[in-house]
Structure 1
Amino acid sequence: MSVKKYLLTTLCSVISYGAFAQSDITENEIAAHISFLASKKMAGRFPGTRENKKTVDYLIKNFRRAGIKPFGSSYIQEFSAKIRVKKGVTDTPIVKTQNVIAFIEGNDPALKQEYIVLGAHYDHLGMGGPSSKKPDTVGVHLGADDNASGTAALLEIAEKLQANKKDLKRSVLLIAFGAEEQGLLGSKYFVEHPVIPLSTIKLMMNMDMVGRMNGEKNLYMGGAASFNGGMELMNSLGPQIGIKPIVIAYDVGGSDHVSFFKKNISVLGFHTGGHPQYHTPEDDFAHINVPGEKLVCDYIYKAIFSVANREGAVSFIPEKK
């Protein structure tokens, strides 16, 4: 489908979306979320900016629309983020930003006290800066794949989980992390200031750059051996969805799930691979494989349901070195 046609269907989706929240994962809603989050008017979703606040408001609005409650009295967990600067610069800004946390309670009297965390970071690089692959270019770094794609997946999977929550045994915590690009700051803050005991988190699943599935329909994931039965489960789900998962035992990578892994929590870090547009202004909606992202969402949804409804324990397995 052409980009023009996607944008047209996206507009139709946005217009109709206000009337009801769909109970299934759809390409139109994925496209609507990414095209909004990665638009020029969102200015790269930089921490501490007006556009960061707009993104937080957008996330909360979509959680509310789907009937997904906050954990406690507020969706927002505020923290201070130290902004990365170029080498030699001593004036380091500190800004206020937020994690956005929502909650779907399980139904098993005992197992609902255990949690699966599904996360994605929503921030990006703003106008560029030291983390840009074009550090001398001042221009909006749109961040369509990194990580509007993961944020869209979080919203879509959350919506379907909410629609089917009566079948969930364990509870699910949904976290959109702020300031990941500044050094995993949102997830670091969360694990140091958790809203639930860390011991109750049985698996953290993180989506960072899931919008560029290749022609072989590969989905990469690290950490599958960090919980019992993980390798077997993640391999078995591929044929059900029609993708070829690249299931990696550990090699947990450099995104927000690392903060959880360092606390001895099992993790899965999902991505669809690197590309030349990474951390440049060219990471735009036109490069997103929307049908591929829907497959990613379907796969992760099945994985969550499988782990959330497992009768036996979900146990952390440390890497042997």
Structure 2
Amino acid sequence: MLALALSAIGFGAIAQTEVTEKEIKDHIHFLASPSMKGRFPGTKENKKTVDYLIKNFKKSGIKPYGKSFLQNFITKIRVKRGVTDTPYAKTQNVIGYIEGTDPVLKNEFIVLGAHYDHLGMGGASSKKPDTVGIHLGADDNASGTAALMEIGEMLAANKELKRSVLLIAFGAEEQGLLGSRYFTEHPVIPLVSIKLMLNMDMVGRMNAEKHLYMGGAASFDGGMELMKSLGPVVGINPIVIAYDVGGSDHVSFYKKNISVLGFHTGGHPQYHTPEDSIDLINVAGEKLVCDYIYKAIVSVANRTVPILFVPEKKN
């Protein structure tokens, strides 16, 4: 009995019910350290990142959907501008699952996503393409990956959800949204059961005005009103954009007529350069981002009325 109790404590109860600045910082320190060499697809550092994600999901009591956390796929790698004969690499999406509590609504899903890969030593997508150096990717997107783990931990600990949640850390986003595209073409659940996809890409540089930008809020009914209302609750000033869904992994879902929210804290000169380092991360601001997105997920997951996709009306 004692062994069972200790096992339960070690697996489930360890999950924290609040996002902490320390854990955010610890995650980004690991992911954006020079030893991770920019988390390039197909490398041993990519595997270390995947192992780290799985370890943290398990620690939080987050289960795989099915038998494995991994969704493996093969991708063609961008190496240098103008070069088309480029190599292939094996990489992965990492998928965690939190089952909803409602016997009917648990068959509907909210997806929370962030890409974990970056540019390695630079290459075709670098803003300094002639520079060979570790592109640390602290904001892009160690920040989003840290937020994914922290929000996931809080969702698993608080057990407040009627609908189910999939947590997806996407691989090969920097290669052209390839991880999210692979998931939407090879979904582990019916796409029709996904009612909203929230994506976090560069959420670590909140400015002094406490702005959090999001596109796609009008793509689900009541989205604009909900996302505006949560700002004062958390203490931020959300910039809520109806559509303009941008260029990150949520686009793959939007193309399948799934409602989306794409979050970021704004661009900066260090984007896609070796200077995107942890010392520039606003950790306190990222905690506010996590709290805001957590409240949005809980609100949408617990709606008793249907969540409806609203396409953009173009003139």
- What is the TM-score with the length of structure 2 in the denominator? 0.95
| Structure 1 counterpart of 2:17 | 23
Whether the aligned pair in 1 keeps the contact of 2:32 and 2:277 (CA below 8 Å) is yes
The answer on 1:269 being equivalent to 2:262 is: yes
Deviation at 1:20? Answer: 3.7
Structure 1 distance, partners of 2:100, 2:152, is 13
- Cα-Cα RMSD: 0.9
Q: 2:234 aligns with which of 231, 234, 241?
A: 241
Q: How does 1:86-165 map to 2 (within 5 A)?
A: 86-165=80-159
Displacement of 1:88 after TM fit? 3.3
Given candidates 309, 312, 315, the residue that maps to 2:302 is 309
State the one-letter code of the partner of 2:54: I
Structure 1, residues 60-108: CA drift from partner, whole Å, max 9, x if none? 0000011110000000000011111323324211100000000000010
Given residue 154 of structure 1, which amino acid in structure 2 is its aligned partner? L
Distance 2:298 2:229 in 1: 14
Say whether the 8 Å CA contact 2:81–2:123 is kept in structure 1: no
TM-aligned CA deviation for residue 272 of structure 1: 0.1
Q: What is the total number of aligned residue pairs between the two structures?
A: 302
Residue 40 of structure 2 aligns to a residue in which SS?
A: coil
- Cα deviations across residues 106-155 of structure 1 (Å, max 9, x unaligned)? 01011000000000000000000010000000000000000000000000
**Are residue 286 (structure 1) and residue 275 (structure 2) matched?**
no
Alignment partners' CA distance in 2, 1:206 and 1:26? 20
Could you tell me which of 187, 193, 198 is aligned with 1:194? Answer: 187
1:229 aligns with 2:187: no
Q: CA deviation at 1:302?
A: 0.1
**Residue type matched to 2:308 in 1?**
S
Q: Which residue of the partner structure matches residue 74 of structure 1?
A: 68
Q: Could you tell me which amino acid in structure 2 is paired with residue 105 of structure 1? A: E
In structure 2, distance between residues paired with 1:82 and 1:99: 15
Q: 1:178 aligns with which of 171, 190, 200?
A: 171
State the AA in 1 paired with 2:250.
H
- 2:212 maps to 219
Please state how far the C-alpha of 1:21 moved relative to its aligned partner.
3.5
Residue type at the aligned position of 2:290:
C
Q: Deviations over 1:157-197 (max 9, x none)?
A: 000000012x2100000000000000000000000000000
Structure 1 partner of 2:43: 49
TM-score (norm 1): 0.93
Structure-2 separation of matches of 1:248 and 1:219: 11
The match for 2:197 is: 204
Letter in structure 1 aligned against 2:202: M
Deviation (angstroms), 1:212 = 0.1
Once the 2 structures are TM-superposed, how far is the Cα of residue 33 of structure 1 from its aligned partner?
0.2
Q: Percent identity?
A: 79
The alpha carbon displacement at 1:236 in A equals 0.1
Q: 2:15 touches 2:156 (CA, 8 Å); kept in 1?
A: no
Separation in 2 of the partners of 1:233 and 1:91? 47
SS at match of 2:85: coil
- Residue 297 of structure 1 aligns with an amino acid whose one-letter code is C
Indicate conservation of the 8 Å contact 2:216/2:243, yes or no.
yes
Structure 2 unaligned residues grouped into runs of 5+? 1-12
Whether the 8 Å CA contact 2:15–2:154 is kept in 1: the answer is no
Structure 2 letter corresponding to 1:160: M
